Amino acid sequence: MRNSLPMSLSRTIQSKLVLPPDTNHLQTIFGGQVLSYIDEIAAITAMKHANLVVVTASIDSVDFLSAARVGDVLELDAVISSTGRTSMEVFVRVRSKNLLTRKERITTQSFLTMVAVDDRGRPSEVPGITAETDEEKRLLAGAPARRKHRKLRAPMPS
């Protein structure tokens, strides 16, 4: 049986300032820029958990819930939400904060699947996870349904 690590060990938090080059003509951040930040923090989170290099296997869902504007600070918070033998599901939540008004809102939420690989690029086994907080327990409990949904939407071979 594989060992398990607490989910908190993988938790990663990053802050990013929304600058004019990151935005569209409405001065709100490009969705692609947010996706780049999400992919980066998911990789860091998965590497912390697996202690191995990882690759992105899928981005299961990305929900853009509100816009972030020039001058806002994005706070990205990521944690391993479930594991397979070589894969890790990572939950990423992005909040935008206006530091002048102190207004805060959830901007984006996403689930990604990362796969640990060895130095030859072959999938490598990862530790399991142990949930400690109520939020972690909810994330872990929802993992089987997300995994089932992921398999249902997988592309058919041609």
- Can you read off the two tokens belonging to residue 133? 């907080």
CA–CA separation, 138 vs 154, rounded Å? 24
Domains annotated for the chain, with CATH where assigned, are: 4-153 (3.10.129.10)
| pLDDT tens per residue across span 71-123 | 999 999 999 999 999 999 999 999 999 999 999 999 999 999 999 999 999 99
Q: What number of other Cβ atoms are within 10 A of residue 78's Cβ? A: 26
For position 157, what pLDDT does the model report? 62
Helix (H) or strand (E) holding 68: none
Helix (H) or strand (E) holding 143: helix 134-153
For position 150, what pLDDT does the model report? 84
Answer whether 108's CB lies under 8 Å from 124's CB.
no
Which amino acid does the sequence have at 64?
Answer: F
- Percentage with pLDDT > 70 across the chain: 96
Indicate the DSSP class of residue 53. E
Supply the pTM of this predicted model: 0.92
For position 62, what pLDDT does the model report? 87
